[in-house]
């Protein structure tokens, strides 16, 4: 299955133009969490303020299959 890791950041929407092949929705959610942790880590490392970002995972038909809030991946 191909999953797209789009990001919603307030008013801004950053579409994932490529997507990744992953075995299951569970694997896609794990991938999204790892992505979010890296992006948070990058902001912390460079002293930038954290943002309220959310991964909106979509499948090949464009349906939203999961929402992963960046805030929730730190626990």
Partner 1 sequence: MTFRQDEVGNRMLAALMPADFTLLQPYLEKVKLPAHFEIARPRSRLEYLYFPESGIGAVMTVSPNDRSAEAGMFGSEGFVPTSTIIGDDIVPYLIEMHVAGLGYRVPIKVMRELTARSSSLQIPFIKYMHVFATQVAYTALANARYRIEQRLARWILMCHDRLRSDELDITHEYIAFMLGTRRPSVTTALHVLEGERLIRSNRGLIIVLDRKGLEEFAAGSYGIPEQEFERLIGRAHRETE
Which residues are near partner 1 by CB under 8 A? 5, 7, 12, 14, 16-18, 20, 34-35, 38-39, 42, 46, 48, 55
Q: Which residues, listed in sequence order, are joined to residue 55 by a DSSP beta bridge?
A: 7, 68
- Cβ-in-10-Å burial (0-12, 13-18, 19+) of 36 comes to buried
Rounded to the nearest whole angstrom, what is the least distance from the CB of residue 2 to partner 1 in the complex?
12
Q: Which is nearer to partner 1, 18 or 63 (CB)?
A: 18
Rounded to the nearest whole angstrom, what is the least distance from the CB of residue 16 to partner 1 in the complex?
6
Structure tokens at 74: 């730190």
């Amino acid at each position: 299955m191909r999953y797209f890791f789009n990001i919603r950041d307030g008013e801004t929407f950053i579409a994932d133009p490529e997507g990744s092949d992953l075995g299951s929705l569970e694997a896609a959610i794990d991938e999204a969490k790892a992505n979010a942790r890296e992006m948070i880590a990058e902001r912390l490392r460079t002293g930038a303020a954290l943002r309220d970002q959310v991964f909106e995972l979509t499948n090949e038909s464009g349906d939203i299959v999961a929402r992963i809030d960046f805030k929730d991946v730190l626990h």
